[in-house]
């Protein structure tokens, strides 16, 4: 485990607790209609052309409890939509994408152009999915003080750096809405 990044070590140390809580909430390993709808609205209202949006339960892997992928019409081809769906699916390894990094942050992560940071540009999703833009924020189980999930929007076109503030405001607002949905589930537990 010595070659793991600090973020991976931190997430790894909490995996069993996080996985148990996600299972208790019914969010660890099956799609959720409410979070699928949330991801759809998250993408639709983001202002990002052809956006992908996820509600991501993070344990020893990333599981997209809620996901929105752009349609063939948005992408311009059925083949491209099918290829994207096959590449993304509902499960990704921890080393793909930026949500594991977001889990370790108290503030949102916004990257108008992931290629501007060498450590982010080398992530496998840049080539696998063509990601150039990322914005995400973590969701926390406030009762246990444990980060459980993220919401994120990814795009395949970079944005000008001056869009960074708008991206930050948008993901913070939507993060508060997703946190409310998670809080409701936690409160409803027996």
What pLDDT score was predicted for residue 4?
43
In a domain, 61, yes or no: yes
Distant-in-sequence, close-in-space partners of 81: CB < 8 Å, separation ≥ 6: 69, 70, 71, 72, 74, 75
In a domain, 1, yes or no: no
What pLDDT score was predicted for residue 133?
92
What pLDDT score was predicted for residue 83?
87
What pLDDT score was predicted for residue 2?
37
HSE-up of residue 170 (Cα within 13 Å, Cβ side): 20
In a domain, 165, yes or no: yes
Tokens of 132: 């150039």
What pLDDT score was predicted for residue 5?
53
* pLDDT, mean of each 10-residue run, the chain (190 residues): 48 78 94 97 94 94 95 90 88 88 92 86 81 94 94 91 87 97 94
DSSP labels, 115-159: GGSHHHHTSHHHHHT---EEEEEEEEETTTTEEEEEEEEEESS--
What pLDDT score was predicted for residue 3?
42
Q: What's the domain count of the chain? A: 1
Tokens of 52: 């992908």
- First CA to last CA across the chain, in angstroms? 37
Structural domain of residue 24, as residue ranges?
Answer: 6-187
In a domain, 135, yes or no: yes
Q: Pairing relation of β-strands 133-141 and 146-155?
A: antiparallel
Say how far apart CA 39 and CA 128 lie, in whole Å: 21
Q: What CATH number is associated with residue 38?
A: 3.30.450.40
What pLDDT score was predicted for residue 16?
85
In a domain, 166, yes or no: yes
In a domain, 23, yes or no: yes
What pLDDT score was predicted for residue 62?
93
Closest CA to 147 of 3, 19, 6: 19
Q: Pairing relation of β-strands 62-68 and 91-92?
A: antiparallel
In a domain, 24, yes or no: yes
pTM of the model: 0.88
Say how far apart CA 166 and CA 57 lie, in whole Å: 25
């Amino acid at each position: 485990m010595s070659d793991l990044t600090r973020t991976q070590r931190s997430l790894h140390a909490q995996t069993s607790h996080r996985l148990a809580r996600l299972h208790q909430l019914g969010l660890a390993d099956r799609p959720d209609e409410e979070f699928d709808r949330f991801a759809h609205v998250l993408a639709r209202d983001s202002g990002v052309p052809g956006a992908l949006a996820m509600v991501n339960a993070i344990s020893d892997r990333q599981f997209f409890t809620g996901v929105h992928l752009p349609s063939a019409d948005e992408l311009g081809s059925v083949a491209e939509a099918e290829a994207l769906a096959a590449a993304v699916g509902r499960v990704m390894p921890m080393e793909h994408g930026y949500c594991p990094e977001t889990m370790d942050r108290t503030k949102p992560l916004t990257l108008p152009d992931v290629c501007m940071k060498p450590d982010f540009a080398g992530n496998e999703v840049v080539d696998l999915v063509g990601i150039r833009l990322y914005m995400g924020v973590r969701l926390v189980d406030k009762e246990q003080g444990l980060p459980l999930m993220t919401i994120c929007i990814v795009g395949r076109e970079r944005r000008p750096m001056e869009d960074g503030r708008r991206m930050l405001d948008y993901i913070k607002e939507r993060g508060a809405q997703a946190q409310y949905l998670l809080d409701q589930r936690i409160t409803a537990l027996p």
